Amino acid sequence: MHRLGRMRKDVFMVTGFRYGNPIETGAVVASPVFTNQIPAEWTLNQEEGTLSCTLKDEDIVYGLGETVRGINKRGWLYISANADEPFHLEDKHSLYASQNFLMISAPGKGAYAVFVDTPGYVRFDVGYTKGSELVITIQEKSANLYFFNADSCKKIVHGLRGLTGPSYIPPKWAFGYGQSRWSYENEEQVRKVVDDYDAAGIALDSVYLDIDYMDNYKDFTVDEEKFPNFPQFVEEMKQRGIHLVPIIDAGVKIEEGYDVYEEGVAKDLFVKKADGSNQIAAVWPGKVHFPDFLKPEAREWFGGKYKVLLDQGIDGFWNDMNEPAIFYIQDQLDDIFKKIEDYKGMNLDIKTFFEFKSLVGQMDRDPSVYESFYHNVNGEMVRHDKVHNVYGFNMTRAAGEAFERLSPDKRILMFSRSSYIGMHRYGGLWEGDNRSWWSHLLLNLQQQPALNMCGFLYSGADIGGFLADTTEDLLMRWFGVGLFTPLMRNHAEKDSRRQELTAFEHTAEFADLVALRYSLLPYIYSEFMKAALHDEMYISPLAFEYPDDERAAYVEDQVMVGESLMIAPVYTQNAQGRYVYLPERMKMLRMRSPEDFDEEIMEKGEYYVSAALNEVLVFLREGHVLPLAERADRSFEVDYDNLRWISFEGDPTKYELYNDDGETPIKR
């Protein structure tokens, strides 16, 4: 077993170009060379605010982190404008995150890339308007542009991490299975989830608390009627090996007597309107103020509030609604009520009917409201839309910085919905409000390598889908991906069908699949930690491992997981299996449980492979090994002393198995 130090090579193939007068985002931690030259591949039109390059037919464009569509981003328009977007459909341009990093490569060729570091809106027209052109439009006409060039994609990823800092490392228990649902109202309901899992013999490490645990949706409060003795309940769960993970929202309820609200007003730490008064917006609790996370004092203050829950035994959180998501702002609402008056008595026709309908119908998620929010950036009033994409990042930074002070000896789980490159140093992310759709199972797979490139190693999607009713087969097939994502959480919306694994007919099969996760944990944790400590990727596209393989380069539905494995999930309803491309000789493991799987050696090539509903397709590379632990009910019970080694002509003694106490923070 090894303890690895951080092998950080500070030599990276990057040059910087300062375009305009950019507001610093905090994404970059190293100091690259700034030249006044743009690399030959790129053209910067400073007047238009565009950076463009020509795409050859065979070029693949990687990156952009959490976005719609495939691993190869060609053929669509992506807009970095963090949005509370619960419809992750192909026709969308923006989701919750902005990872402004793009990398271009073709089979057998080197790679070049750019990180457009700006807190404002950016459009990435990746061969959408014209197939052979990549055009990046920077709204503020200001950005720090970082250009990369190397003989491989892997090296560029390493270089980006050198520039933006190392990836967040969660506690080891956060690699266990987590159960969540918006609506666990009280102690009894949470206890029942754990009882049901234990009774069904399904391993579990955490239960998530959604907004229902709070007193009237007020951050850092607990509803005392539903949780009469919260610290005692947290301890009761801990005794059973279960971590409770509460949600924290960005908006602070406006309510006299609520300390967070009163302190924020007294210390002048909330986002403003143009007239300097505190902006009033609304989210779950109704009217709220938003902390001005761009202000260091506000970060320090808000971050300090997590102590309220840490002191009650909590050791993990998820930050939500931090794009920020908004139902309405007060001025907009007043205006709507006035306009509605004008429509009274009118003959609503084709024009006026739709205008009238949209007055209320399009009130929430209206990005124009951001134009009336102001931040204090280094003493200057800056309109929100100019710094929009770093708001969620700074909320999570507030938490991450606070944990370093408040919990210096213990890692705290933290992941966020909104994000920007740089946030990967403070927390992970989940992929937001997906749906119980088969296409979102595939999207989950495709977002993983893109997120890993940008440093977001600790990530995952709501397994089974958040919105809409799941089906047992979808949930079971989702394990084909979810078994391998560092964050493995089943989460569902309150009005959807129950989605706990215990709510279905084939509980025993689910128990076996979750057992497989615990059995794979020594491998998953090792590979994750090595990626985090060496600035590499944990999940990557096939092309990064097989850069000369023309077929592998365009595979969109298989990924590499760590050094030994390739996975190929089934993502179509009622399919009996799927086509798989093997870029080299591999040993196929058709896995049903830690004890029950078939092994078959297959030559390089294309195959149709059958997979029953409860079977996960895993491929072991030649010359590699896979450690498997025995079943465990909790992550801390995983027994590293009794590992079984599956080998395909590999040598277990050569495998770098990483382990640690899973808790002590790792200084890098």
Candidate residues 245, 247, 395, 555; the one interacting with ligand GLC per rule CB under 6 A: 247
Residue closest to ligand GLC, measured at CB:
182
Query: CA 152 from chain center: how many Å?
Result: 25
Peptide linkage before 594 cis (omega within 30 of 0): no
The tokens of 533 are what?
Answer: 């400590």
Shortest Cβ distance from residue 320 to ligand GLC (Å)? 5
Nearest approach in angstroms of CB 183 to ligand GLC is 9
Size of the site for ligand GLC (CB under 6 A): 10
Q: Which residue has the tokens 């365009």?
A: 554
CB-wise, 70 or 432, nearer to ligand GLC?
432
**Helices 438-453 & 153-164 angle (0-180, nearest 10):** 70
Contacting residue, 433, 535, 536, 557, with ligand GLC by CB under 6 A: 433
Query: Residue 586, SS3?
Result: strand
- Decide whether 364 or 637 has the Cβ nearer to ligand GLC: 364
- Answer yes or no: are the C-beta atoms of 389 and 120 closer than 8 Å: yes
Q: How far is the CB of 407 from ligand GLC (least distance, A)?
A: 24
Nearer to ligand GLC (CB atom), residue 210 or residue 500: 210
Task: State the nearest-atom distance from the C-beta of 309 to ligand GLC, in Å.
Answer: 16
Indicate the residue among 429 and 560 with the shorter CB distance to ligand GLC: 429
Q: Does 286 bind ligand GLC (CB under 6 A)?
A: no
What is the smallest separation between the CB atom of 249 and ligand GLC, expressed in angstroms?
A: 7
Question: How far is 632 from 626, CA to CA, in rounded Å?
Answer: 17
Joined together, the tokens standing for residue 661 give 């106490």
d(CA 274, CA 288): 17
Output phi, psi for 488, to 5 deg.
-120, 90
Residue 491 Cβ, how far from ligand GLC at the closest point, in Å? Answer: 6
Question: 219 or 433, CB closer to ligand GLC?
Answer: 433
Residue 320 lies near ligand GLC (rule: CB under 6 A): yes
Q: Are 306 and 220 in contact (CB under 8 A)?
A: yes
Please provide the size of the chain in residues.
668
- Pick between residue 373 and residue 430 the one whose CB is nearest to ligand GLC: 430
User: Which lies closer to ligand GLC via its Cβ, residue 243 or residue 631?
Assistant: 243
Shortest approach of ligand GLC to residue 113 CB, angstroms? 30
Tokens representing 524 are 């998953």
Q: Which two tokens stand for residue 536?
A: 């590499």
Pick the binder of ligand GLC from 411, 417, 489, 592 (CB under 6 A).
Answer: 417
Nearer to ligand GLC, 210 or 545 (CB): 210
Query: Based on CB atoms, which residue is closest to ligand GLC, 411 or 417?
Result: 417
Give the angle subtended at the CA of 659 by the CAs of 658 and 660, to the nearest 5°: 140
Nearer to ligand GLC, 168 or 466 (CB): 466
For residues 174 to 213, the per-residue mask of contacts with ligand GLC, x marking binding by CB under 6 A and - elsewhere, is: --------x---------------------------xx--
Cβ proximity of 105 and 125 under 8 Å:
no
Using the CB atoms, write b or e for 139-165: b if 16+ within 10 Å.
bbbbbbbbbbbbeebbbbbbbbbbbbb
CA distance 405 to 414: 15
Residue 226 near ligand GLC by CB under 6 A: no
Residue found under tokens 């709501």: 462
| Contact between 374 and 278 (Cβ < 8 Å) | no
Tally of CB atoms within 10 A around 35: 12
| 584 burial via Cβ count (<10 Å: 0-12, 13-18, 19+) | middle
Min separation Cβ 433 and ligand GLC, Å: 5
Comparing CB distances to ligand GLC, the nearer of 211 and 269 is 211
CA separation, residue 400 to residues 21, 25, 317, 387 (Å): 28, 16, 11, 20
Question: From the CB of 429, what's the least distance to ligand GLC, in Å?
Answer: 11
Comparison of 126 and 222: residue with beta carbon closer to ligand GLC:
222
State the minimum distance, in angstroms, from the CB of residue 589 to ligand GLC. 33
Min dist. Cβ of residue 59 to ligand GLC (A): 35
Structure tokens given for 245: 């993970």
- Of residues 141 and 287, the one with the C-beta less far from ligand GLC: 287
**What SS3 state is found at 598?**
strand
Token couple for 412: 């705290």
Q: How far apart, in whole angstroms, are the C-alpha atoms of residue 22 and residue 24?
A: 6
Nearer to ligand GLC, 420 or 648 (CB): 420
In angstroms, the CA 9 to CA 159 distance is: 9
H/E segment holding residue 67: none
Q: CA 81 to CA 118: how far, in whole Å?
A: 11
Closest separation in Å from C-beta 470 to ligand GLC:
15
3-state secondary structure of 253: strand
CB of 414 to ligand GLC, least distance (A): 15
Site for ligand GLC in 128-167 (CB under 6 A): none
CB of residue 96 to ligand GLC, shortest distance in Å: 8
133-138 vs 122-126, strand pairing mode: antiparallel
Residues within window 467-496 making contact with ligand GLC, judged by CB under 6 A:
491
CA pair distance 362, 420, nearest whole angstrom: 26
In the bound state with ligand GLC, the residue whose beta carbon lies nearer, of 170 and 465, is 465
| 323 near ligand GLC, judged by CB under 6 A | no
Closest approach of ligand GLC to the CB of residue 461, in Å: 11
Residue 432 touching ligand GLC (CB under 6 A):
yes
CA distances from 93 to 90, 278, 371, 467, 526 (A): 8, 31, 20, 20, 35
Q: What is the DSSP letter of 498?
A: P
CB of 325: closest distance to ligand GLC in angstroms?
7
Dist CA 395 CA 294 (whole Å):
8
Task: Choose between 417 and 624: whose C-beta lies nearer to ligand GLC.
Answer: 417
- Find the angle CA(353)-CA(358)-CA(359) to the nearest 5 degrees: 100
**How are beta strands 252-253 and 605-610 bridged, if at all?**
unpaired
- Give contact residues for ligand GLC (rule: CB under 6 A): 182, 210-211, 247, 320, 417, 432-433, 466, 491
